[in-house]
Every structure is written in structure tokens, then in C-alpha cells.
Structure 1
Amino acid sequence: MASVDRVKKLKTKHEEYETAIAQESNRPHPDEIQLHDMKRQKLRIKDEINRLSSA
């Protein structure tokens, strides 16, 4: 049950990163370093979701 809660929290965090990335991308002069870091973090979260879901 704990892994189900963890996956839900990770999915929420993944959606938050998705929104933040979209907002930063739409700025006139997006911070490319911040975008890169957010995308990397979002990918790590996705990988963990996949790992926990398949376990």
C-alpha cells in the first residue's frame, strides 16, 4: 500500500514539473539551465514511477 501512495505522490510531482516546464518554456526568455534541470528531474520521477509500478 505504501508504494501505491508513493506512486500517487510521484505522479502529482510529475504533473507539477510538467506545468512548471510549460510555464518556463512560454516565457519570452526561458532559463535554459532551469528547464534542463526540471526536465531531468521529471524524467527521474517517471523512471521511479515505472519502477514502482512494475514491482
Structure 2
Amino acid sequence: MTIEARIRELGNRHRNLEDAIHQALQSPSVDSLMLRDMKRRKLRLKEEIRELETRVP
């Protein structure tokens, strides 16, 4: 898999998590631990995307 393809894949996962977080925040019974975990995973994806972007010429 190329770096560009990996960046796209991670970007899709990042957007999906962003949507899931938004949906969870709409729920009156949001699970704060689950929400925190989703936000951490989203941040890790963002960091990985940034690192890979530095490798692309």
C-alpha cells in the first residue's frame, strides 16, 4: 500500500470516528468513557496522518 493510500484510509477512519463522536454527543445517555476512547483514537489517527504526510515528497 502506498503512503498516499494509507493516508486516505486513515482519513476515512478519522472522518468515521468524527461522525460517531458527533452522533454520541447527540444522545442523552452518552457513555463518557466510550466517548473519551473515540476521541483518543481520533487523535492518534490524526497524528499518524500528519507523520505520513511528512514522508510524502
TM range (shorter): over 0.9
Q: Count matched residues.
A: 55
Aligned to 2:43: 43
Which ranges in structure 2 are unaligned for 5 or more consecutive residues?
none
CA shift at 1:29, angstroms? 1.3
Which ranges in structure 1 are unaligned for 5 or more consecutive residues?
none
Alignment TM-score, normalising by the size of structure 1: 0.96
Misfit runs of 4+, over 3 Å: none
CA distance in 1, matches of 2:54, 2:25: 32
TM-align CA RMSD: 1.0
Structure 2 residue identity aligned to 1:19: D
Alignment TM-score, normalising by the size of structure 2: 0.93
Match of 1:29, SS state, is coil
Aligned to 2:29: 29
CA shift at 1:53, angstroms? 0.2
